[in-house]
Amino acid sequence: MKKDLISNDIQLSPEGKLVHLLGLEGLSKKHLTHILNIADGLIDDAGNLKKSKALDDMSVANLFFEPSTRTRNTFEIAGKRTSANIINVDLANSATKKNESLLDTMHTLKAMQIDMFVIRHNQSGLPHHVAENLQGVAILNAGDGINAHPTQALLDMLTIRQHKQSFEDLSVAIIGDIVHSRVAHSDIQALKTLGTKDIRLIAPTGLQYDSEQCASVKCMDDIQAGLKDCDVVMVLRLQKERMLEADIPNEQEYFDSYGLTAERLALAKPDALVMHPGPINRGVEIDSSIADGDQSVILQQVTNGIAVRMAVMEILAGKS
Ligand code: CP
């Protein structure tokens, strides 16, 4: 599966201000650092999330056309913590089931004075299409097909920044189903923008990028070599919902060859972070003892998702 090039051009105003968040391509180090700094400022010294009144005059709609636990709920919590009026649109019982087009549904919700839409969809580029056709609202991409998951990458960068001195000197290994992963795509973009030079993508043939996409990163199939002395290990699940039946690997064989175990993690630096965007499949891409181990920051990633999503909403509202 090859990723189409989807332009994020319309997410910046002519003055370079963020008006939608569609993807991380096109955003500068200054943009990313600003979002991370605002998110940092929303966490107090004890690690607790603060509240703000930034969106107290705004309404936000969550539209999730794909299942989600982390992203949907942390957007809802982030909306509430910034004092927005936030609704989860019940798509299973909406007029889209009576053949209303997505854009007509969106125009209808906009007429209810919604200011911001958070959209997850299995179609790459769908949030971009909405942003092009619905004026006067902000669109936040909460994951589109295999294309992008920008807030996931931003919360991943915030988590790394809380533990490591600089992005420049890091060796980051991303293991697993790279080719179907919008998270990998956005993480690679964020790491490159923030200056990381050693990005290793570890996957079997079939789940790896093609040679063109591998040109600016290190694509490897040898997990031992890929993990050697790295600072951050990001593990991805097998995204079966985006595979053909024939492509789905045998889970036991996959774990035997590419699962993150204690023995394999020992090849990385002793203080290497173990990250996973979730949902995790224990015993498939990661051993349970590693998911729950001392090096795991998986649940910290979840909490950071609230701060990052609050920050992005405040910025799009012009309040930060
Ligand atoms: N990481 C992530 O997108 O998880 P959810 O599918 O639970 O939102």
All structural domains of the chain: 3-149+302-316 (3.40.50.1370), 150-298 (3.40.50.1370)
Q: What is the mean pLDDT of each run of 10 residues along the chain (320 residues)?
A: 78 96 97 98 95 96 96 98 96 88 94 97 96 97 97 98 97 97 98 98 95 96 98 95 83 96 98 97 97 98 98 96
Determine whether the shortest distance from the Cβ of 278 to ligand 1 is under 6 A: yes
Determine whether the shortest distance from the Cβ of 150 to ligand 1 is under 6 A: no
Residue with CA at minimum distance from ligand 1 atom 3:
71
Q: Which of 63, 65, 69 gets mutated to test ligand 1 (max ligand atoms within 8 A of its CB)? A: 69
Residue 246: per-residue pLDDT:
73
Residue 1: per-residue pLDDT:
55
Determine whether the shortest distance from the Cβ of 143 to ligand 1 is under 6 A: yes
Determine whether the shortest distance from the Cβ of 71 to ligand 1 is under 6 A: yes
Determine whether the shortest distance from the Cβ of 70 to ligand 1 is under 6 A: yes
149 CA closest ligand 1 atom index = 3
72 alpha carbon – ligand 1 mean position (Å)? 8
143 alpha carbon – ligand 1 mean position (Å)? 8
Determine whether the shortest distance from the Cβ of 124 to ligand 1 is under 6 A: no
Residue 115: per-residue pLDDT:
97
Query: What's the chain look like in SS3?
Result: CCCCCCCCHHHECCCCCECCECCCCCCCHHHHHHHHHHHHHCECCCCCECCCCCCCCCEEEEEECCCCCHHHHHHHHHHHHCCCEEEECCHHHCHHHHCCCHHHHHHHHHHCCCCEEEEEECCCCHHHHHHHHCCCCEEEEEEECCCECHHHHHHHHHHHHHHCCCCCCCEEEEECCCCCCHHHHHHHHHHHHCCCCEEEEECCCCCCCCCCCCCCCEEECCHHHHHCCCCEEEECCCCHHHCCHHHCCCHHHHHHHHCECHHHHCCCCCCCEEECCCCCCECCCECHHHHCCCCECHHHHHHHHHHHHHHHHHHHCCCC
